[in-house]
Structure 1
Amino acid sequence: MAKKTKISHQIKKKPITFKRNALSTTAQMMKDSQAVILTEYRGLTVPQVNDIRVRLKDSGADFSVIKNTLFKRAADELSISDAGLDAALNGPTAAVFATGDPVAAAKAVADYMASVRNSPFKVKGGVVGGKFATAAQIDQLSKIPPKEVLISQMLGAFNSPISGLVGTLNGIVSNFVYTLQAIADKQSGGDSAAA
């Protein structure tokens, strides 16, 4: 009988270690991510899940089915708590960990939902910048232009006033040159009339 107790004691220890490792891994993944998008994946087929994984991998994100209690504990460990997060962690949940550009990951999720008619795949909410974000906020995130476009727009905005200033200065210099040319022409014309 003592052997049974010893064996059952060893079996119980292993799951606790496994759970601690899973918790620390999940917390680290959340910490390393720019955004985490929580999704409802119930009703998706295996090929559809694989398609989502490929699309997200291309945008620098990982797709993982995760236990709600595990995600909640990892969020608590990172001091992320919100009533909306508790509500989003209801039912089967898969998390999109966006370690790269969060806009690209949100766009990939939105594009997938738009490409599949009547898709059971839905956004439940997420965590962006250490704060809970609703499904509507994640949708707004997906509508932001890509990082490269934003940078080019910003550079264009900086360049526009400078270009305007250069154009104005060129206009002033040109007008001054035309005025000098007109004076020179008038004087040379006046000298011809006097002779």
Structure 2
Amino acid sequence: MSEAIIAKKAEQVELVAEKMKAAASIVVVDSRGLTVDQDTVLRRSLRESGVEFKVIKNSILSRAAEKAGLDDLKDLFVGPSAVAFSNEDVIAPAKVISEFAKTAEALEIKGGAIEGAISSKEEINALASLPNREGMLSMLLSVLQAPVRNVAYAVKAVAEAKDEDVA
């Protein structure tokens, strides 16, 4: 191999390692068997969710995982591998890929990493069943509002009771 090719591959490894380090979540899939239309729909859905989706050679992925400190991720890079990176929303890649896999049986989730911790296929699917960030914030807000609402109802009931006593 020429030095130029080796340098280019080293640069690719470095680039992928940086993406792995910066990613909030990584999902590794086998997309072999998807039609062009299915692949286009999947990529569009991921892009709309702010997720980067790439098909990268296993040798580059393995070296990048080692550099990023995700050595256990190397076991997933067997056969055709595509990787989804999300820097902001931890749930987005898992949710989009899991939903898409329900209609496209050819897509197989291999596993991934969530905030630096290696995750199995089952953990990725469990993550996909969680509500997104906005849904979780909405649920938290309703939980925080409940005690305040109950106090307001109690104060209103006391005020109405006093109004009845005066009348």
TM (normalized to structure 1)? 0.79
Aligned match of 1:21 = 11
Aligned match of 2:20 = 30
Q: CA deviation at 1:65?
A: 0.7
Structure 1 runs, 4 residues or longer, greater than 6 Å off: none
Q: CA deviation at 1:46?
A: 2.8
Q: Map residues 1-195 of structure 1 onto 2, 5 A cutoff.
A: 12-82=2-72, 85-116=73-104, 119-179=105-165, 181=166
The one-letter code matched in structure 1 to 2:75 is: A
Q: CA deviation at 1:140?
A: 0.7
Q: Percent identity?
A: 27
In structure 1, runs of 5+ residues without a counterpart are 1-10, 183-195
* Partners of 2:14 and 2:66 in 1: CA distance: 12
User: Residues 42 and 92 of structure 1 are in contact (CA less than 8 Å); yes or no, is this contact kept in structure 2?
Assistant: yes
CA RMSD of aligned residues (A): 1.6
In terms of fraction of residues, the more helix-rich structure is 1
Q: For this pair of structures, how many residues does the alignment match? A: 167
* Partners of 1:71 and 1:132 in 2: CA distance: 15
Q: Matched residue of 2:91: which SS? A: helix
TM (normalized to structure 2)? 0.91
* Partners of 1:103 and 1:60 in 2: CA distance: 11
* Partners of 1:177 and 1:41 in 2: CA distance: 69
In structure 2, runs of 5+ residues without a counterpart are none
User: Residues 31 and 108 of structure 2 are in contact (CA less than 8 Å); yes or no, is this contact kept in structure 1?
Assistant: yes
Q: Matched residue of 2:34: which SS? A: coil
* Partners of 2:6 and 2:36 in 1: CA distance: 30
The one-letter code matched in structure 2 to 1:79 is: G
